[in-house]
């Protein structure tokens, strides 16, 4: 059965209208999708820009902290060589850290976190330097004060021996200078149980006096006995079972120890030991060296 021409025209017109509506719907849907994608991309870009800004601010703050620490290290000074060597090494580490963080992108979060840890470590090291320097300064001030007090105590104690010292000087002036044996390099040292020098009073087991009888062809040749008198910080003469008496200035004088050497007119080096002293105290010890003709000299030793 043939289609009515009018109905056919109506059908064609309806199909055209239907096709146009569908195309419009598709177009609207595509436009909506493009707008949505644009909004998502804009949000992502804005979020990334905000994050990068925050990371740059964080890097800037960390850089400023490291540069400030670098200034603190430059201003830290010490009078102690071993600490200065360590300070130089730490200053170099801080300088390298400044250079590395300036060359690192703020978005490299793992590396930035590593720099934060290094900054904390360098701060801790600096605090330890400050503690060491303060401790050493305090100790030096204390030792200086103790030494000054010990010298004053020794000076007060030696006042009781002024008369004897004056007699020694008067007698020395009466002896012909050309025939008197003289000494140089008088030194008083303390030894521990390992026969090593020490300045710790609690470790001393003996004292040793070293000196040289100088060359003098005019002086009498033969055996010469050198006597030493050792005074503790209170001015007391130290003696033991080996102590003996000797004639000096027309009087019998007690010596802490003595030793005889063969003097031929040439220089002679010698040492005299003082043993069997029960204990040693902190302060300045004084030794005076004599022959029966003259006082050879004296020396001091500070024990802590």
Q: Positive or negative, the Cα torsion across 246, 252, 253, 254? A: positive
Tens of pLDDT, residue by residue over 6-15, are 666 666 666 6
Q: Which domains does the chain have, with CATH numbers?
A: 5-132 (no CATH), 175-303 (2.60.40.1930)
**100-143 tens-digit pLDDT:** 888 888 778 888 888 888 888 888 887 888 888 888 888 888 88
How high is the mean pLDDT of the chain?
83
Q: pLDDT tens, 13-25?
A: 666 666 566 667 7
The mean per-residue pLDDT over the stretch 264-275 comes to 94
**123: which residues sit within 8 A by CB, 6+ positions away?**
69
Taking 80 as the threshold, does the pLDDT of residue 262 lie above it?
yes
Full-model pTM: 0.43
Task: Give the whole-angstrom CA distance, residue 230 versus residue 274.
Answer: 9
Please report the pLDDT score of residue 189 as a whole number: 97
Which residues lie below 8 Å from residue 184, measured CB to CB, with a gap of 6+?
211, 212, 214, 297
Kindly report, residue by residue over 134-177, the tens digit of the pLDDT.
888 888 888 888 888 888 887 887 777 777 667 656 555 544 56
Res 168: pLDDT: 55
pLDDT of residue 160: 72
Question: Which tens digit of pLDDT belongs to each residue from 173-231?
Answer: 544 566 788 999 999 999 999 999 999 999 999 999 999 999 988 888 999 999 999 99
Report the percentage of the chain scoring pLDDT > 90: 36
How confident is the model over 86-99, as pLDDT tens digits?
Answer: 888 888 888 888 88
Q: Between these two residues, 246 and 31, which has the higher pLDDT value?
A: 246
What pLDDT does 17 receive?
61
| Residue range 46-66, pLDDT digits in tens | 555 565 676 788 888 888 888
- For residue 262, the cross-strand partners are 223
Q: What is the pLDDT of residue 3?
A: 58
In this prediction, what percent of the chain has a pLDDT beyond 70?
84
Q: For the residues 70-78, what does the mean pLDDT come to?
A: 82
The predicted pLDDT at position 12 comes to: 64
How confident is the model at residue 105, as a pLDDT?
Answer: 80
Q: Which residue has the higher pLDDT, 260 or 64?
A: 260
Q: List Cα–Cα distances, 113 to 102, 104, 247, in angstroms.
A: 14, 12, 83
200: which 2 tokens?
């710790």
Q: pLDDT confidence of 291, banded at 50, 70, 90? A: very high
CB 276 within 8 Å of CB 240: yes
């Amino acid at each position: 059965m043939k289609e009515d021409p009018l109905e056919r025209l109506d059908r064609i017109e309806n199909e055209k209208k239907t096709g146009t509506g569908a195309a419009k719907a598709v177009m609207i849907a595509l436009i909506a999708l493009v707008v949505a994608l644009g909004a998502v991309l804009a949000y992502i870009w804005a979020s990334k820009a905000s994050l990068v800004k925050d990371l740059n601010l964080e890097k800037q703050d960390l850089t400023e902290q490291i540069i400030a620490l670098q200034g603190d290290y430059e201003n830290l000074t010490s009078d102690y060589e071993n600490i200065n060597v360590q300070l130089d090494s730490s200053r170099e580490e801080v300088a390298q850290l400044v250079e590395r963080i300036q060359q690192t992108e703020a978005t490299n979060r793992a590396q930035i976190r590593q720099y934060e840890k290094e900054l904390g470590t360098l701060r801790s090291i600096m605090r330890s330097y400050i503690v060491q320097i303060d401790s050493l300064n305090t100790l030096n001030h204390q030792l200086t004060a103790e030494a000054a007090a010990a010298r004053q105590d020794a000076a007060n104690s030696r006042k009781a021996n002024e008369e004897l010292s004056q007699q020694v000087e008067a007698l020395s002036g009466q002896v012909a200078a050309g025939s008197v044996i003289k000494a140089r390099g008088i030194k008083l040292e303390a030894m521990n149980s390992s026969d090593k020098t020490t300045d710790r009073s609690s470790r001393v087991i003996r004292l040793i006096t070293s000196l040289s009888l100088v060359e003098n062809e005019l002086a009498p040749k033969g055996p010469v006995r050198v006597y030493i008198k050792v005074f503790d910080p209170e001015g007391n003469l130290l003696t033991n079972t080996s102590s003996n008496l000797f004639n000096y200035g027309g009087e019998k004088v007690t010596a802490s120890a003595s030793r005889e050497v063969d003097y031929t007119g040439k220089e002679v080096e010698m040492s005299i030991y003082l043993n069997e002293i029960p204990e040693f105290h902190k302060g300045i010890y004084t030794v005076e060296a004599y022959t029966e003709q003259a006082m050879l000299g004296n020396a001091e030793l500070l024990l802590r």
